[in-house]
Structure 1
Amino acid sequence: MTAHDRVPPGPVAVLANPTAGRGRHRGLLPGILERLAGAGRPVELLRARTPEEAEAACHAAVAGGAGALVAVGGDGTMHRALQAVAGTDVPFGPVPAGTGNDFAVDTGFPADPVAAVEVIADALAAGRARSVDLARLSRRGEADRWFGAVLAAGFDAIVNERANRMRWPRGPRRYDLAIVVELARLRPRRYRLVLDGVAQEVDAVLVAVGNTASYGGGMRICPDADPHDGLLDVVVGGRFDRRTLMRVKPQIYRGTPCHAPAGARLPGAVLFYLAAEGITSYADGERSLDLPVTVTAVPAALRLLR
């Protein structure tokens, strides 16, 4: 075991989102904390009422000497925690307990939260951590962001943005209504793409940049993405009409988006620049930076408790 593989001393900080997965795993938290404590480390539950407070609490825990950070929730919870541990020696354990658990599953953790905690606790007890890539998102004048799964910068990002502006209805129906509204307004956008210095302009409806394969709870938009190869996987869906887009969606869940007309997987890239008018990107399902942005693959930027 190398020095980089070892888990540093310090307590295990735990971020838990009680509303993740519509609260269906809320009752598991006491058992999760007990199992982590059984790995021989003090366990500290972080307090936060909002996503912003959760991210700040993770940063404070890492700065305060936490030996590891564990997040219990969905991809949004993981995204907030990643901002604190990316590029550090503090290892991370994702416990999938949300509606979408793409990052945890695509990096090799069991989809069942109890089984995932067993993996994490065993790694803590053995002092074992394994490196995985992340992607860094940059925009001039703004702080960098990290993401572990997929950056959406097309139709799905536009739907998310509309849903977040809506006050009615509540719950999943709001997202469904946002899809209906945006399908009625569907049109290709002009994108400027630069992959490792090679520029092109395309008209597209879907644009996704993957560190891992999936987003949206198992939609394999970037099926060839590998979080260990040091590359970004870029998928562009061209001039789809509404009927084509609805037909393509099931193909994406099966991991075959490029079989659709005008769909393309661009060559893997280390550095990717993406520009379009009026689009806010969504990283790991969370509202992120307005375009234009630069996405950089950062090998071994995260240490996972596996």
Structure 2
Amino acid sequence: MRAFTFLVNPASGGGAAPDAVVPVARLLREAGATVDVTYSPGPKAMGALVDVAIARGDVVVSVGGDGMLSSLAGSVSVAGGTLAVLPAGRGNDFARMLGLPEDPAAQARLLLEGAVRRVDLISWTLPGGAPRLVAGSVYSGVDARASEIVDGAHWLPKKAQYPYAALRSLATYQPGRFRVSVDGVEHEYSAATVVVANSAYYGKGMKIAPAAVLDDGLLDIVVIEAASKLELMRSLPTVYDGAHVTRPEVTVLTGRRVELRGRGRTPIPVGGDGEPLGALPGLDGPPAVAEVRPGALAVIA
């Protein structure tokens, strides 16, 4: 019988996370499992809790959004534990990629009986900084700006937040100059965004990297080159089914190590799994580096 430590971000999903825990924890306890539930104000406060949970042999359950999950994934990976996911955020894109159920009974059954599989993670490092492990994707440019807008769009219904942020960011974007090196082969683009993806999904169901696989030891790099604002807005619906990759302004590359630099009118923002990750270094300095960590995370799915 598995034991579980639920680590909950109570702010996730506009406060939906605490309610998501109750029926699943009850079903697990009725089945005889040991369940501990701990609340935190955010993902950065969780490292010590992860270490304690793994030391006693618990499965760590992330209850919240993609940012919470990504932060825990790194900690669980480093500590050698097993992660499970109870999606309760606005996007839940990594849970979507894993094919996780939404019904509490099915979620409890998966936690008790589901197989443990190993998936890749992305190691992201800015010059002079420490590596950050990311589960889904790292993105730079207009989509990082959209992520910033989402964080300030709580006044909108949840279903409208991501479409609103995408359209607003496209309406105000300025293309940047990106230098992208994939496994030592350098490319240069005038682009709206560059995405380094482990998972196919981001932005609440946008299939930005449709060929991405979580356990293939590869990263998918999606470059959307500069186009008119109107053209980008018109093409936005195609991102939801992955059809955008057939458009002439979209380039898809694959590799294990990606070096990124960029220059824009202002510093080009970077995000990862819904969390801000700073800005890209300029074209003339040392690059930011994304590397795949094959099989780095054990997860119940």
User: The TM-score by the shorter chain falls in which range?
Assistant: 0.7 to 0.9
TM-score relative to the length of structure 2: 0.85
Q: Report what 2:205 is aligned to.
A: 218
Structural mapping, 1:119-198, within 5 Å: 119-123=110-114, 128-161=115-148, 170-171=155-156, 182-198=169-185
Aligned identity (percent) is 31
Q: Report what 2:12 is aligned to.
A: 20
Output one character per residue of 1:149-194: Cα deviation in whole Å (capped at 9) or x when no partner.
1212121102333565x6x884568877765654343221000101
How many residues are paired up? Answer: 290
The 8 Å contact of residues 145 and 269 in structure 2, kept in 1 or not, is answered as yes
Whole-angstrom distance in 1 between the partners of 2:6 and 2:26: 12
Distance verdict in 2 for CA 1:284–1:39, change over 3 Å: farther
Check if 1:252 corresponds to 2:239: yes
What's the CA shift for 1:230?
0.4
Distance verdict in 2 for CA 1:58–1:274, change over 3 Å: farther
Whole-angstrom distance in 2 between the partners of 1:246 and 1:129: 40
- Partner SS for 1:98: coil
Distance verdict in 2 for CA 1:16–1:163, change over 3 Å: closer
Structural mapping, 1:43-192, within 5 Å: 43-53=35-45, 55-62=46-53, 64-123=55-114, 128-161=115-148, 170-171=155-156, 182-192=169-179
Output one character per residue of 1:16-72: Cα deviation in whole Å (capped at 9) or x when no partner.
23333233464342222223335654322123123322x335444356434310012
Residue ranges of structure 2 left out of the alignment (5+ in a row): 282-287
The 8 Å contact of residues 17 and 63 in structure 2, kept in 1 or not, is answered as no
Distance verdict in 2 for CA 1:96–1:175, change over 3 Å: closer
Moved more, 181-190 or 191-200: 181-190
- Partner SS for 1:153: strand
Structural mapping, 1:266-277, within 5 Å: 266=253, 268-277=254-263
- Partner SS for 2:129: coil
Structural mapping, 1:33-52, within 5 Å: 33-38=25-30, 40-52=32-44
Residue ranges of structure 1 left out of the alignment (5+ in a row): 1-6
> What code does the residue aligned with 1:70 have?
V
Structural mapping, 1:198-209, within 5 Å: 198-209=185-196
The 8 Å contact of residues 105 and 111 in structure 1, kept in 2 or not, is answered as no
The 8 Å contact of residues 211 and 225 in structure 1, kept in 2 or not, is answered as yes
Q: Report what 1:229 is aligned to.
A: 216
> What code does the residue aligned with 2:74 have?
Q
Q: Report what 1:302 is aligned to.
A: 297
The 8 Å contact of residues 191 and 276 in structure 1, kept in 2 or not, is answered as yes
Whole-angstrom distance in 1 between the partners of 2:201 and 2:65: 13
Whole-angstrom distance in 1 between the partners of 2:99 and 2:166: 31
> What code does the residue aligned with 2:258 have?
F
Larger strand share, 1 or 2: 2
RMSD: 2.6
Distance verdict in 2 for CA 1:39–1:169, change over 3 Å: closer
> What code does the residue aligned with 1:152 have?
Y
TM-score relative to the length of structure 1: 0.84
Whole-angstrom distance in 1 between the partners of 2:289 and 2:201: 20
Q: Report what 1:263 is aligned to.
A: 250
Whole-angstrom distance in 1 between the partners of 2:260 and 2:209: 17
Whole-angstrom distance in 1 between the partners of 2:142 and 2:22: 39
The 8 Å contact of residues 42 and 68 in structure 2, kept in 1 or not, is answered as no
Whole-angstrom distance in 1 between the partners of 2:131 and 2:85: 22
